[in-house]
């Protein structure tokens, strides 16, 4: 089977890999769509594909199942197949509620996550040894645990009827134990399995297991093995309030923009208001000049508006005085900032700084971005480098 994985843009192009088996008849080709609402859209789409193939319920995504109803992949209730993902051999089996990958038992979500990673990697890597090594490296820690180590562990609690979202540091201290910072300099031990269950609620919203809806005092007791004193609890709550997720994310996003202004000096410049809020970002791309503005009246995937320095193509009527024949000529007006151009974020929740930085990085290489973002093309009236802002207003 040729597996086509939709690229996360509007180019209508795909990544390709092959999946084969001598004991299961795959369709000739199959398309996997990315899931825009997830933190990692391609990973989530591939996980849904593998869950649908392995689970007797056909996966939990009704929309995905509906789109593929004529092209079903499901191994059934009991199966034992050797499947080649690119050049990587994996043994997949199920009996009852037990799933096995290469002879070892894992949860369905862990197997689907590992297979999703090796599937995407096989689009670019053909060496079976490297693919198999990557598969085992992925299986050493659950996907949720890797996410927490890379992005901090999410946590929320309520204080005076207000929900407070927090990010907590997580580090690995040995092969079978992790540590989570729950107060200033206070680290509690948690196993990868416990953290995986914890994340099922605090990341995915699944109300199963014992690690859900934890008050700060309960979280302290779970990780430290005893209840906190009144002073320890007050210190913990103050520490959590100082580590609000949105504050951390916003701060890092603005730091990223500041770093880019230094790195691309001469091609990027910024305009701030009196209190330091980023209002505009000017970009000198390879072919065109661009302006990003802070869209204060929108949130979500369009917090930033995009403009391009271009003329407008107009039709001028011309009448021949001798024959009376009317013709139309195309002329270009004076250039100005044209837009806003509709460029959405892949997923919700990105802070203002990240949306500025993401678009700026793409527009610095605008010759490539124009090919994959179709909404830009209708604003291009002139040839590359034909109209440029004087000195690009960069300082």
Residue 61: per-residue pLDDT: 44
How many angstroms separate the Cα of 101 from the Cα of each of 166, 188, 194?
A: 35, 32, 21
Q: What percent of the chain has pLDDT over 70?
A: 86
The listed range with the strongest mean pLDDT (33-47, 151-165, 301-315, 318-332) is 151-165
394 pLDDT more than 60: no
Cis peptide upstream of residue 235 (ω within 30 degrees of 0): no
Sequence-distant (≥ 6) Cβ neighbours of residue 24 within 8 angstroms: 75, 79, 81, 83
Q: Which residues pair with 282 in a beta bridge?
A: 269, 291
Residue 355: per-residue pLDDT: 83
- Separation of first and last alpha carbons in the chain: 54
pLDDT classification of 342: cutoffs 50, 70, 90: confident
Residue 378: per-residue pLDDT: 86
Residue 346: per-residue pLDDT: 60
Query: What phi and psi, each to the nearest 5 degrees, are found at residue 240?
Result: -65, -40
Burial call 13-31: b when 16+ CB within 10 Å, e when fewer: eebebebebeebebeeebe
Residue 157 near residue 216 (C-beta atoms within 8 A): yes
In the Cβ-directed half-sphere of 132, how many Cα atoms lie within 13 Å?
11
Q: Is the backbone of residue 120 left (phi > 0), alpha (psi -120 to 50) or beta?
A: alpha
Structure tokens at 214: 């934890």
The listed range with the strongest mean pLDDT (80-84, 108-112, 132-136, 333-337) is 80-84
Sequence-distant (≥ 6) Cβ neighbours of residue 265 within 8 angstroms: none
Nearest to 15 by CA among 28, 38, 33: 33
pLDDT classification of 295: cutoffs 50, 70, 90: confident
Cα–Cα distance measured from residue 25 to residue 53, given in angstroms and rounded to the nearest whole number: 12
Residue 69: per-residue pLDDT: 44
Sign of the torsion angle spanned by Cα atoms 131, 109, 246, 297: positive
Residue 347: per-residue pLDDT: 58
Residue 45: per-residue pLDDT: 92
Residue 297: per-residue pLDDT: 57
265 pLDDT more than 70: yes
The overall average pLDDT reported for the chain is 84
pLDDT classification of 301: cutoffs 50, 70, 90: low
Class of residue 215 by CB neighbours under 10 A (exposed 0-12, middle 13-18, buried 19+):
exposed
Sign of the torsion angle spanned by Cα atoms 45, 50, 51, 53: positive
For residues 28-46, average pLDDT: 86
For residues 211-217, average pLDDT: 94
368 pLDDT more than 80: yes
Pick the more confident residue, 273 or 129: 129
Residue 139 near residue 110 (C-beta atoms within 8 A): yes
Structure tokens at 120: 């995407």
Query: What phi and psi, each to the nearest 5 degrees, are found at residue 58?
Result: 75, 25
Residue 286: per-residue pLDDT: 92
Per DSSP, the residues of 303-340 read SEEEEEEE--EEEEEEE-TTT--EEEEEEE---EEEEE
How many angstroms separate the Cα of 367 from the Cα of each of 220, 271, 286, 288, 361?
A: 53, 25, 6, 9, 12
Length of the chain as a residue count: 395
Place of tokens 């209708």: 378
The per-residue pLDDT for range 60-102, each reduced to its tens digit, is: 444 444 344 445 688 888 899 999 999 999 999 998 888 999 9
Residue 309: per-residue pLDDT: 93
Residue 27 near residue 74 (C-beta atoms within 8 A): no
* Domain segments of the chain as ranges: 2-140, 145-243, 247-393
């Amino acid at each position: 089977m040729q597996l086509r994985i939709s690229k996360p843009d509007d180019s209508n192009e795909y990544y390709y890999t092959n999946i084969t088996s001598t004991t299961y008849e795959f369709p000739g080709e199959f398309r996997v769509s990315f899931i825009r609402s997830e933190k990692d859209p391609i990973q989530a789409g591939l996980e849904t594909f593998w869950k649908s193939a392995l689970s007797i319920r056909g996966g939990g995504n009704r929309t995905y199942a509906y789109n593929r109803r004529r092209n079903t992949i499901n191994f059934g209730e009991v199966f034992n197949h050797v499947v080649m993902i690119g050049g990587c051999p994996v043994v997949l089996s199920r009996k009852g509620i037990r799933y096995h990958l290469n002879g070892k038992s894992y949860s369905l979500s862990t197997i689907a996550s590992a297979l999703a990673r090796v599937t995407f990697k096989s689009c670019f890597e053909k060496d079976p040894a490297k693919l198999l090594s990557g598969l085992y490296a992925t299986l050493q820690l659950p996907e949720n645990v890797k996410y927490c180590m890379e992005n901090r562990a999410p946590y929320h609690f309520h204080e005076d009827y207000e929900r407070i979202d927090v990010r907590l540091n997580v580090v690995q201290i040995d092969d079978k134990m992790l540590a989570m910072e729950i107060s200033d300099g206070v680290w509690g031990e948690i196993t990868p399995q416990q953290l995986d269950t914890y994340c099922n609620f605090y990341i995915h919203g699944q109300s199963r297991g014992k690690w859900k809806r934890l008050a700060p005092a309960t979280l302290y007791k779970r990780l430290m093995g005893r209840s906190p004193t009144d002073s320890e609890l007050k210190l913990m709550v103050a520490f959590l309030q100082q580590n609000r997720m949105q504050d951390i994310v916003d701060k890092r996003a603005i730091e990223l923009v500041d770093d880019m202004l230094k790195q691309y000096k001469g091609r990027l410049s910024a305009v701030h208001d009196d209190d330091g809020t980023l209002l505009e970002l000017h970009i000198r791309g390879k072919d065109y000049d661009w302006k990003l503005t802070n869209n204060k009246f929108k949130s979500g995937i369009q917090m930033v508006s995009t403009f391009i320095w271009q003329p407008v193509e107009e039709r001028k009527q011309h009448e021949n005085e001798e024959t009376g024949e009317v013709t139309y000529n195309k002329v270009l007006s004076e250039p100005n900032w044209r837009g806003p151009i509709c460029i959405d974020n892949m997923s919700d929740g990105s802070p203002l700084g990240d949306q500025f930085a993401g678009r700026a990085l793409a527009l610095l290489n605008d010759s490539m971005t124009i090919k994959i973002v179709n909404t830009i093309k209708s604003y291009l009236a002139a040839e590359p480098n034909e109209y440029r802002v004087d000195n690009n207003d960069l300082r």
